[in-house]
Chain A
């Protein structure tokens, strides 16, 4: 295991995602991506990026914000691209020749959004996990197709109003729960999976380091608040992200494979909620400040649906705690 990277040390590491990119004000993408790249500093790293917000806004030709080798191919195939990069490195290593042969490990990071993971990129992800490639897949989950204008995805939470699941007179936004992506990924028996939140940067750095140190497929699920799609003030990104974990709609945890078994463990903030359940905030505190859930509160509170969502969050949180016991 490499040594812990502290926040103070991380702050001194030059950004591999340089400023000047065109992400929206208040977007959580660059916050999380910068932390991940800081954790990757010092390792030979190649990034591959699915089509999406992070890709289009950081690489508008002839400009780029990336100071690491970076490849974008398409929307649904980033895990397959990563498979190819890793396979190229392995073959060059075996032959003892080729540009990547000198690296004992190559840190391959694949970034994709929720559309590129839950939906269109699901098959390529599953295939790459099953084949056991040595790479880290980062799901940057802003919970809808934000780059094309806020359409619902398999990662959109229940009740959210999007442009393809609008809150109407009859249907109150999205009627389905988020696909349980972490459970699906963990079912692939990969060595490491974790959820990360920009409101807990040290936890992000620690989990990235752990992922990069682990050989095989790793999966990081980041909550990425989106000011445009979630409809909140640009200055509130981190506080909204924090509420996601404080209300247990997005708990922080990690799953390591120990002696062939998945070992689930709650991380700092979620572990302390498990210890002191009274500190768990009601989910409405997370939903109410967001415009995408506005119809649940105005013109009058939709108590029935709010209760239904709270019960669903509680049930999932309970099941997670049982796994982590």
Chain B
């Protein structure tokens, strides 16, 4: 295991620092709160000659993603970062990046979508991109951001994956909060990420590596009609399925180098839990704290932190949830007019065919950066205990910490 250095970094700095160590070919980015520190720090690395990267200060997020697509297609490692409206502006190109099978890595400092305009954290931005064909990793703290910002490259470029990866961190709560982060030496990171691998494809002039090469020309992004489009979408489905295996391999390898291993769904005190909360991101740290308190009070509480949202790790999630009878799904996102929030829908779908499954209730919290306090989480556990006792879910969907609910 490599010798590590403890640094004080916020989530944005952890992302920028890891990316400096990866030394990608092209970084194309546009500033948006709360992602700006990533772009600023990285610009400093470029200005000080600490990286070989070509930094392209594009004129919009749409161009940030378009430039990344051009660079990645030309064989470069391409990185960008955004949040909220910036991610929404990229939306069209997100789908194109994944369908072109380009292993771009993007940091997303999760922020509420306008309107009304709000710069603080929730997950509505990343959830809006959940069908775009990107792998989505949600981090709980700056350490996870650092680790994911390195492993993301290996996941994206894995020969069986070849898909772009979003590293999501909660805006401000993670992006702007300084924490202790264990970092590897540059050469250990360099060795871990290695060189970009290219898959070989059948082009119109024979087999070639999938990239723009004047010596082996390929046509990338042609018009794809009724006769082939569907098959190409199935290729993406297969790649996402394969990613579930590949991510595990990369994480295990990272654990060997760093000593930090991550599962897709991390159980906490679930063995004998009567009630549990599942969710993603920084609020799960607060949930863990509340679980400890409840345990001291004699409540058999547990929790599951979900780290991977796309591909959705249904099997690992169920394993982590185990036999808990009452599960609360806590999420910082609303899907207007839907029967539940996105994460709740995914989990219920995953369980639908199972005979044995927990009762489930959906709790929407923290929209627009509203603090998710221990008191609110206690309220959720209180509701779960009531349901558990009654043997039925009295209210399938609740909005916690909002006036009038």
Contacts and interface: CB of A to CB of B under 8 A. Distances in A.
Contact of A100 (B52, B60, B74): B74
Nearest to A44: B214
A69 B204 CA distance: 11
Given A89-B74, A127-B60, A73 B54 contact: no
Interface of A: 44-46, 48, 55-56, 59-64, 66-74, 76-77, 79-85, 87-92, 94-95, 97-100, 103, 106, 123-124, 126-128, 130-131
A131 B211 CA distance: 24
Contacts of B204: 62-64
B223 to A, nearest CB: 5
A84 B54 CA distance: 9
A3 to B, nearest CB: 21
A67 B25 contact: no
B206 interface: no
Interface stretch (B65-73, B131-139, B288-296, B388-396): B65-73
Nearest to A102: B215
24 contacts: A63-B204, A69-B220, A70-B219, A70-B220, A73-B221, A74-B66, A74-B93, A80-B58, A80-B66, A81-B70, A83-B56, A84-B69, A85-B71, A85-B73, A85-B74, A85-B212, A87-B26, A87-B56, A88-B72, A89-B74, A94-B52, A99-B209, A99-B213, A106-B214
Given A87-B76, A123-B60, A73 B217 contact: no
A80 B63 contact: yes
B217 A98 contact: no
Contacts of A100: 74-75, 213
Nearest to B92: A74
Interface in B20-56: 25-26, 28, 52-54, 56
B344 interface: no
A59 B28 contact: no
Given A85-B70, A85-B212, A92-B76, 6 more contacts: A59-B221, A69-B214, A81-B67, A84-B74, A88-B72, A130-B59
Nearest to A79: B63
Contact of B56 (A62, A63, A67, A131): A131
Nearest to A57: B223
B67 A84 contact: yes
A84 B71 CA distance: 4
B28 A87 contact: yes
Nearest to A99: B75
A131 B63 CA distance: 12
B67 A71 contact: no
Nearest to B214: A44
B221 A72 contact: yes
Nearest to A103: B214
Given A73-B93, A77-B93, A84-B26, A46 B69 contact: no
Contacts of A66: 217, 219
B223 A56 contact: yes
Given A66-B217, A67-B205, A84-B78, A95 B52 contact: yes
Contacts of A87: 25-26, 28, 54, 56, 67, 70-71, 76
Contacts of A89: 74
Contacts of B93: 73-74, 77
B63 A77 contact: yes
B218 interface: yes
Contacts of A92: 25, 75-76
A83 B67 contact: yes
A90 B54 contact: yes
Given A59-B219, A61-B225, A74-B96, A81 B26 contact: no
B75 A88 contact: yes
A69 B62 contact: no
Of B62, B217, B224, B228, the most chain A CB neighbours within 10 A belong to: B217
A72 B212 CA distance: 11
Nearest to B28: A84
Interface string B232-251: 00000000000000000000
A71 B219 CA distance: 6
Contacts of B222: 59-61, 64, 72
B2 interface: no
B25 A88 contact: yes
Given A87-B28, A88-B78, A92-B25, A71 B212 contact: yes
B74 A46 contact: yes
A98 B25 contact: yes
A59 B223 contact: yes
A131 B78 CA distance: 18
Given A59-B223, A127-B63, A91 B214 contact: no
Contacts of A60: 222-223, 225
A63 B223 CA distance: 9
A72 B205 CA distance: 18
A69 B76 contact: no
B7 interface: no
The 9 A-B pairs of least Cβ separation, nearest first, read A84-B70, A127-B59, A88-B76, A80-B66, A88-B74, A59-B222, A77-B66, A84-B71, A91-B25
Of B73, B195, B209, the most chain A CB neighbours within 10 A belong to: B73
Interface in B81-114: 92-93, 96, 100
Of B66, B75, B78, the most chain A CB neighbours within 10 A belong to: B66
Contacts of A97: 195
A78 B225 CA distance: 22
B57 interface: yes
Given A73-B96, A76-B62, A99-B211, A84 B75 contact: no
Contacts of B58: 80, 83, 127, 131
